[in-house]
């Protein structure tokens, strides 16, 4: 069964990145519709997209509304069977869409597919979906490992990373897309968890390959990133009731270690302030069901989780 494909892209300044991304998409072996949200760019990105890619469906916000809101706006421009999210700093191989959507065409039960993102140079993995430990901390799978390890079964896949992901639109619509309360970071992980909790399985497609420049828009480990990363983490903790779960002690201990370490290294309280804001944002909202145990990698212990968290903080992925 051939499924129709919508590719949703959020652009925020840096038209050079968007142009490269769209040029690679133009060479795809699978037909698709291009949906773009210009998220408040001030460098003429929207106008240039309209001129250079007239077939694209384009919407624009007056200011930066965050990745989740902008992404949902782009997705709403189409009605394809499959929604592919793609960061504008990703260059895809010509068969990327064909390989990424193939599992959804073979198995109608699947809700999502994770792509293989490699770092510039092609030798190391940037991510192949997301994994999680018992505290629902989300980590890029196999980050930094050799590309030859992309087919590894562990760590357990909870769902795709928003950098490059395919979602069955029926699954996307069922859970309501990305949570717009999360401005940036953890919104893709939250979506992955909600899809698994709703009964939608996921798989990885290591043959669907793109090169991710990584943090090309916001830089590396800025206070902005760490604040928003902290917001998303605390929001997830409260929405999923982790401090009332068996993982409560480990969750509290991990967060205390991470916040203290970040304060020492960065000499600011961005991570703490973000967590306080995220906790408050989740106040009064209904608890979300946790995913099945099969979606959680119980083999990720505290020490490994801390090491994985260091990797996330050292190389943010937006």
Domains of the chain, first to last = 5-212 (3.90.550.10), 223-314 (no CATH)
Query: 275: alpha, beta or left, given left = phi > 0 and alpha = psi -120 to 50?
Result: alpha
Between CA 317 and CA 149 the distance in angstroms is: 20
Per-block mean pLDDT, blocks of 10 residues, the chain (318 long)? 95 94 97 97 94 96 93 98 97 98 98 97 96 96 96 96 97 98 95 98 98 64 90 98 96 95 93 97 97 96 85 45
| Strands 112-118 vs 164-168: parallel, antiparallel or unpaired | antiparallel
Which pLDDT score is estimated for 151?
96
CB 208 within 8 A of CB 116: yes
User: What is the chain's length?
Assistant: 318
Which pLDDT score is estimated for 220?
56
What does the DSSP assignment read for 158-188?
-B--TTEEEEEHHHHHHHTSS-TT--SSSHH
Give exposure, 163-195, as e/b (b: 16+ Cβ within 10 Å).
bbbbbbbebbeebebbbbbbbbbbbbbbbbbbb
pTM of the model: 0.94
The dihedral of CA 61, 19, 316, 212: what is its sign? Answer: positive
Collapsed DSSP state (helix, strand, coil) of residue 291: coil
């Amino acid at each position: 069964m051939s499924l129709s494909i919508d590719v949703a892209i959020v652009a925020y300044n840096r038209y050079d990145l968007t142009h490269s991304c769209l040029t690679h998409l133009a060479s795809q072996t699978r037909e698709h519709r291009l949906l773009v949200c210009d998220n408040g760019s001030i460098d003429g990105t929207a106008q240039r997209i309209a001129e250079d890619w007239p077939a694209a469906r384009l919407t624009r916000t007056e200011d930066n509304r965050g990745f989740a809101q902008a992404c949902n706006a782009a997705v709403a421009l189409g009605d394809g069977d499959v929604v592919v999210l793609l960061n504008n700093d990703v260059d895809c191989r010509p068969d990327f869409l064909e390989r990424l959507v193939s599992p959804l065409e073979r198995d109608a039960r699947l809700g999502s597919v994770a792509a293989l993102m490699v770092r510039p140079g092609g030798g190391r993995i940037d991510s192949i979906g997301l994994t999680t430990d018992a505290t629902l901390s989300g980590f890029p799978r196999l980050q930094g490992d050799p590309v030859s390890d992309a087919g590894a079964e562990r760590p357990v896949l909870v769902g795709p990373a928003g950098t490059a992901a395919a979602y069955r639109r029926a699954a996307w619509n069922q859970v309501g897309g990305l949570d717009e309360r999360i401005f940036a970071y953890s919104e893709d992980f939250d979506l992955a968890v909600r899809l698994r909790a709703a009964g939608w399985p996921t798989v990885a497609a290591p043959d669907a390959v793109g090169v991710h420049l990584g943090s090309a828009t916001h830089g590396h480990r800025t206070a902005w990133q760490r604040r928003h990363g902290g917001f998303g983490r605390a929001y997830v903790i409260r929405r999923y009731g982790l401090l009332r779960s068996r993982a409560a002690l480990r969750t509290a201990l991990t967060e205390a270690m991470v916040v203290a370490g970040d304060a020492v290294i960065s000499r600011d309280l961005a991570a703490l302030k973000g967590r306080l804001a995220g906790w408050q944002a989740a106040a009064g909202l209904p608890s979300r069901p946790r995913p099945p145990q099969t979606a959680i990698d119980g083999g990720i212990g505290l020490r490994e989780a801390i090491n994985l968290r260091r990797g996330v903080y050292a190389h943010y992925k937006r």
